[in-house]
Amino acid sequence: MQNVERAAPGSRGPGWVLLGLVPLLGLGVLLAFIVLNGAGVTRDDLPPVEDLTVERVALPTEYEMVVSVTNGGPDPVTVSQVNVNDALTGFRVESGNTIPSLGSTEIKVPYTWVEGEAYAITLITNTGTTFDAEVPLAALTPGFSGETFWRYALIGFYVGVVPVALGLLWFPFLRRLGTSGINFVLALTVGLLVFLVVDTLLEAGEVATQLPGAFSGIPLVILVSLLTLLGLLGTERLFRRGREEASRLSTSYRIALGIGLHNLGEGLAIGAAFALGETALGTFLVVGFTLHNITEGVGIAAPILREKPRLAHFAWLALLGGGPAILGTWIGGFAHSNLLSTLFLAVGAGAILQVIYEVTRILLKDSARTKAPALSGTNLGGLTAGIAIMYATALLVSV
Amino acid sequence: MGEERQEGGRTVREYELVARDAEVEVAPGVFYPAWTFDGQVPGPTLRAREGDRVRVTFKNEGTHPHTIHFHGIHAANMDGTFEIVGPGQEYVYEFDAEPFGMHLYHCHTTPLRKHIEKGLYGVFIIDPKEGRPPADEMVMVMNGFDTNFDAENEVYTVNGVAFHYQRHPVEIKKGELVRVYLANFTEFDLINSMHIHANFFDYYPTGTRLEPTEYTDTKMLAQGERGIMEFAYGRAGSFMFHAHVNEFAELGWLGFFKVEE
């Protein structure tokens, strides 16, 4: 230790690297000791901790149920019996009945279910602990085929691309507005985005609670949203290209991206609900989504009302804002994963937060320039209108 | 029939029962932390002839206080209700075997339901002096296990393991009289029942009379109720028997008789 203290600060020889390794070496020794001898705090009189989480129950054929489970606990869990509606039934797990810690598997249960009925499934482990799953409404889970692929794409198209594109069609109308009119539209955009960020965060939180405890779902949502927000704020200067401000068009693109990620989340929920027979997605719902999301097109157009972007930009903006809904329905319908959904939604929330900041800044700059109060009647009215429109139309689309 | 010896001109039957905690398999692959007599649920069947003296030495090697309460006619301090036997202690129960019939024994320590649902019970048969006709005899104890401790049974069994007699059918001979000593030790659910397929049986409630009271194919028993069934199969083949409470049947209380020529 004497030598170390004498070394001049800043000298980084090979010895310096070794110093960095000392804690790791200590950690290695400690881990080896604990693995070999135990930590001295283990209790043998307690049963193992069992924590199975059911991710989803699929009905791929009329005579089979497939239960996807994840072991979120520290110990392996062995599924010994499966009970469907108060009857023990046979089952098959290709990877073996024991699921390792943080492992996932599919439990295949041969069972001739009745369409439209509800099923309660209980997994019984070797210690007699039970884990419940349910099929609220039995219906065939659509498998992957060309037909279902296009059907999901169509759903995403109706829910995402069509309304955003329709909203963008207001561009020529809106650009004839005066300054206060445009400010109203910008404030309306902020309102719309505030609604979306609340909605996305709550949706993310809901999915996160279905994750195994080990994944720390709620902290994951908060942290991923925060990192996305900070990351986008940090990269914003890249879009400025030497100018003091990012171009208005690039702001529109970022709004489209944030809204796109939100629509991806919407797609995930719709795809999963549709696959599990929880929603019929009738005409009413499609019309509802169109009304709900049409405001998003207005929001995307708001920053560029004073500019003359090429027509192609509008096509790209519509695709970026609405297209992810198609991707979402595919993922939700064919490869539903609560972890993936949580992450997508959290990233979406962070992205929307960033554009809220950006659009608000445009409004603030304008109010500084004109010496009008930031919370003028126009701005407050627009904000309220944005939130109110989204809330009202959301009533039509509760999946 | 325990250790048999003569004392002063009468038959004395001596038994030893040990209470101990044990993991028992209650359905294939599912283990339950039970309290048992001699490591098994239900406990060993005790048997005596009407008028015999019965002496049961009870050792508590478990982790909780227990007793043995016998159904029968006996003195107050032989009833296993007040003389609690702590872990490591022992107690000797002694009484005359009366009346003849099919009886039970179980722990009677509070909380009572807990001590019974955990597995501390068994069957105690007192044969009539003149005996019963020769038959292929078997004990069937209907019970259930609350494996996740939510005050509901996850599995139902006869003699302790769900679907055991489906995987290992009870072999009986065609034309031979079969005598089933049937008891209901199910907790949480008020009743249980027994139904045999393609046949009927004579039923002797509690086995305390030598004449059957009923000729039927399904018998419902309340908690603690028991009786004797007698029947013979006239045809070879596999015949199902199960609780006619269908939920219990599908949760494990179902088996087969394999009738052979």
Pick from A47, A87, A127: CB nearest B251:
A87
Nearest to B230 by CA among B248, B246, B213: B213
Q: What is the mean pLDDT of residues A147-163?
A: 90
Pick from B27, B163, B247: CB nearest A86:
B247
- If one compares A243 and A140, the residue with the highest pLDDT of the two is A140
pLDDT of residue A40: 76
- If one compares B184 and A332, the residue with the highest pLDDT of the two is B184
How far is the CA of A145 from the CAs of A334, A336, A355, A360, B37, in angstroms?
A: 10, 16, 38, 45, 59
Q: Is the pLDDT of residue A94 over 70?
A: yes
Minimum Cα–Cα distance from B250: chain A residue: A87
Q: Which residues does chain A have within 8 Å of residue B252's beta carbon, measured at their own beta carbons?
A: 88
- If one compares A389 and B221, the residue with the highest pLDDT of the two is B221
Does residue B84 contact residue B178 with C-beta atoms inside 8 Å? no
A159: left (phi over 0), alpha (psi -120 to 50) or beta: alpha
pLDDT tens column, B168-197: 999 999 999 999 999 999 999 999 999 999
Q: What is the Cα–Cα distance from A311 to A28, expressed in whole angstroms?
A: 61
Least confident of A100-114, A357-371, B182-196: A357-371
Pick from B154, B163, B247: CB nearest A124:
B154
Q: Is A313 exposed, middle or buried (0-12, 13-18, 19+ CB in 10 A)?
A: middle
Does residue B51 contact residue B97 with C-beta atoms inside 8 Å? yes
pLDDT of residue A177: 87
Apex A197 CA angle, A238 and A184, nearest 5: 80
Q: What is the mean pLDDT of residues A264-285?
A: 72
- Each domain of chain A, given as residue ranges in start order, spans 52-135, 146-397
Q: What is the mean pLDDT of residues B153-181?
A: 97
Pick from B27, B33, B251: CB nearest A86:
B251
Domains along the sequence of chain B with CATH: 3-127 (2.60.40.420), 136-260 (2.60.40.420)
CB-CB under 8 Å, A125 with B154:
no
Nearest to A279 by CA among A139, A112, A113: A139
Least confident of A216-220, A371-375, B36-40, B141-145: A371-375
CATH of A52-135, one of 3.50.50.60, 2.40.37.10, 3.40.50.1820, 2.60.40.10: 2.60.40.10
B154 interface with A at CB cutoff 8 Å: yes
Nearest to B115 by CA among B194, B60, B182: B60
Two tokens, residue A283: 């005409």
Minimum Cα–Cα distance from B148: chain A residue: A129
Q: Is the pLDDT of residue A283 over 80?
A: no
Sign of CA dihedral B100, B105, B111, B114: negative
Rounded mean pLDDT of chain B?
96
Element (H, E) at B115: helix B112-117
Matching residue, tokens 């992450």? A343
Q: How far is B11 from chain A (nearest CA, A)?
A: 44
pLDDT of residue A6: 55
Two tokens, residue A209: 């609670």
Does residue A360 contact residue A187 with C-beta atoms inside 8 Å? no
Nearest to A107 by CA among A91, A125, A90: A91
Using DSSP bridges, classify how beta strands B201-205 and B237-242 pair: parallel, antiparallel or unpaired.
Answer: unpaired
Q: What is the Cα–Cα distance from B238 to B150, expressed in whole angstroms?
A: 36
Q: Is the pLDDT of residue B42 over 60?
A: yes
Pick from B30, B250, B251: CB nearest A128:
B30
Rounded mean pLDDT of chain A?
86
Minimum Cα–Cα distance from A85: chain B residue: B247
3-class SS string, chain A: CHHHHHCCCCCCCHHHHHHHHHHHHHHHHHHHHHHHHCCCCCCCCCCCCCCEEEEEEEEEECCEEEEEEEECCCCCEEEEEEEECCCEECCECCCCCEECCCCEEEEEEECCCCCCCCEEEEEEECCCCEEEEEECCCCCCCCCCHHHHHHHHHHHHHHHHHHHHHHHCCHHHHCCCCHHHHHHHHHHHHHHHHHHHHHHHHHHHHHHCCCCHHHCHHHHHHHHHHHHHHHHHHHHHHHHCCCCCCCHHHHHHHHHHHHHHHHHHHHHHHHHHHHCCCCCCCHHHHHHHHHHHHHHHHHHHHHHCCCCCCHHHHHHHHHHHHCHHHHHHHHHHHCCCHHHHHHHHHHHHHHHHHHHHHHHHHHHHHHHHHCCCCCCHHHHHHHHHHHHHHHHHHHHHCC
User: Looking at residue B236, what DSSP letter applies?
Assistant: -
Minimum Cα–Cα distance from A78: chain B residue: B29
Two tokens, residue A239: 């879009």
pLDDT of residue A9: 60
Q: Is the pLDDT of residue A8 over 60?
A: no
A98 interface with B at CB cutoff 8 Å: no
Nearest to A167 by CA among A255, A303, A320, A293: A293
Helical axes A179-208 vs A283-301, angle rounded to 10°? 130
pLDDT of residue A269: 79
Using DSSP bridges, classify how beta strands A104-110 and B69-70 pair: parallel, antiparallel or unpaired.
Answer: unpaired
Q: Is the pLDDT of residue A284 over 80?
A: no
Amino acid at A199: D
Sign of CA dihedral A180, A182, A187, A188: positive
Element (H, E) at B246: helix B246-250
Q: Is the pLDDT of residue A251 over 90?
A: no
Q: How many Cβ contacts (< 8 angstroms) between chains A and B?
A: 55
Two tokens, residue A85: 């509606």
B163 interface with A at CB cutoff 8 Å: yes
CB-CB under 8 Å, A129 with B147:
yes
Does residue B19 contact residue B62 with C-beta atoms inside 8 Å? yes
Nearest to A66 by CA among A141, A148, A144, A129: A141
Q: Which residues does chain A have within 8 Å of residue B28's beta carbon, measured at their own beta carbons?
A: 80-81
Q: What is the mean pLDDT of residues A111-118?
A: 93
Distance of CA A394 to the CA centre of its chain: 18
Band (A399; pLDDT cuts 50, 70, 90): low
Q: Is the pLDDT of residue A243 over 70?
A: no
Q: What is the Cα–Cα distance from A258 to A256, expressed in whole angstroms?
A: 6
DSSP-derived secondary structure for B128-160: -TT-----EEEEEEEEEE-TTSSSS-SEEEETT
Pick the most confident of A131-145, A215-229, A239-253.
Answer: A215-229
A120 interface with B at CB cutoff 8 Å: no
Percent of chain B with pLDDT over 70: 100
pLDDT tens column, A15-44: 888 888 899 999 999 999 888 887 777 777
Q: Is the pLDDT of residue A187 over 70?
A: yes
pLDDT of residue A239: 67
How far is the CA of A358 from the CAs of A60, A175, A188, A257, A361, in angstroms?
A: 46, 20, 14, 13, 5
pLDDT tens column, B228-245: 999 999 999 999 999 999
pLDDT of residue A153: 92
Q: What is the Cα–Cα distance from B188 to B155, expressed in whole angstroms?
A: 12
Q: What is the mean pLDDT of residues B204-221?
A: 97
pLDDT of residue A1: 44
pTM: 0.81
| CA R_g for chain A | 27
- If one compares A262 and B53, the residue with the highest pLDDT of the two is B53
Q: Is the pLDDT of residue A89 over 60?
A: yes
> What is residue B167's three-state secondary structure?
helix
Q: Where are the beta strands (DSSP E) in B178-217?
A: 178-184, 191-196, 201-205, 214-216
Q: Which residues does chain A have within 8 Å of residue B31's beta carbon, measured at their own beta carbons?
A: 126-128
Two tokens, residue A395: 């009533």
